[in-house]
């Protein structure tokens, strides 16, 4: 199964969080990008099994989005 997960930076809370339509129930956040990627890797198979009755390989594609406000 191919799943796309968008990792979005929230500047106000200084955390990354997930957005995905491919993995029901996958709502995660973490202060570091790599930490969130690992959390998704760990949780995705379980969420697909619990919410979609899918057991098998999961191919994850990550998209990152980060916007920041900077002042000179």
Taking the chain, what is the end-to-end CA distance rounded to the nearest angstrom? 46
Tens digit of each residue's pLDDT (9 = 90 or more) over 25-54? 999 999 999 999 999 999 999 999 999 999
pLDDT band at 69 (very low <50, low <70, confident <90, very high): confident
Name the strand (E) or helix (H) holding 9.
strand 2-10
Separation between Cα atoms, residue 28 and residue 43, nearest integer Å = 9
> Does 18 score more than 90 pLDDT?
yes
Q: Please give the pLDDT value at position 72.
A: 87
Q: Say yes or no: domain 2-65 is CATH 3.40.190.10.
A: no
Q: Give me the residue spans of the domains in the chain.
A: 2-65
- At residue 3, the pLDDT reads 98
Handedness of CA 16, 20, 23, 27 (dihedral sign): positive
* pLDDT score at 68: 84
pTM equals: 0.90
For residue 39, what are its two tokens?
Answer: 């959390």
């Amino acid at each position: 199964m191919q799943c796309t997960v968008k990792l979005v930076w929230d500047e106000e809370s200084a955390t990354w969080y997930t957005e995905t339509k491919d993995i029901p129930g996958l709502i995660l956040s973490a202060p570091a990008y790599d930490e969130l990627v690992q959390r998704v890797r760990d949780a995705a198979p379980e969420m697909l099994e619990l919410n979609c009755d899918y057991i098998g390989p999961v191919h994850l594609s990550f998209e990152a989005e980060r916007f920041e406000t900077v002042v000179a």
